[in-house]
Amino acid sequence: MATNGQRWWAATAALSVVVHLAVLYWPVIAVTGPVSWTDKVVHVLVFALPTYLVGRLVGRPLLVALAFAAHALVSELAQHLLLPGRSGDPWDVVADLAGVVLATGALVVRARSGRW
């Protein structure tokens, strides 16, 4: 039987994946901010958060990281080829992968500290 804490982590991970998919596949999204690279920060966060939460929930950070890393490439190709009003950007893939690497690093540190 799952504890309340486990249910909370599962719900949070699921919500982060839903937001992740919505941000990546919504027909048109214009990200503006105070600096020109705000879009890249959004990409880092939209990959880091679900990678961390799903990796923590599943307990297999490297497998989860590989899945999200593959999705970084697939999502940009899908945006470029299939979504009108969206375009694939190689620098978005770099930002996506940076988010995956940051989250995976945090998961590895957490696992090595024995706080898994």
More confident residue, 30 or 35: 30
Q: Note the maximum CA span of the chain.
A: 48
pLDDT of residue 30: 65
pLDDT of residue 77: 94
CA dihedral 11, 15, 16, 22 (to 10 degrees): 160
The helix-helix angle for 61-82 and 4-25 (nearest 10°) equals 30
pLDDT of residue 33: 60
Picking from 112, 76, 111, the residue whose alpha carbon sits closest to that of residue 94 is 76
pLDDT of residue 39: 84
Distance CA 81, CA 10 (A): 32
**Contact 43/75 with Cβ under 8 angstroms?**
no
Range of the domain at 54: 4-112
* Number of domains into which the chain is organized: 1
pTM higher than 0.85? yes
Distance CA 51, CA 10 (A): 13
Mean pLDDT of the chain: 89
CA angle 43, 112, 96 (to 5 degrees): 10
**Residue whose pair of structure tokens reads 């920060």 in the numeric block:** 41
**81 CB-near residues (< 8 Å, 6+ apart):** 88
pLDDT of residue 88: 84
pLDDT in tens, 45-94: 999 999 999 999 998 999 999 999 999 999 999 999 988 878 888 999 99
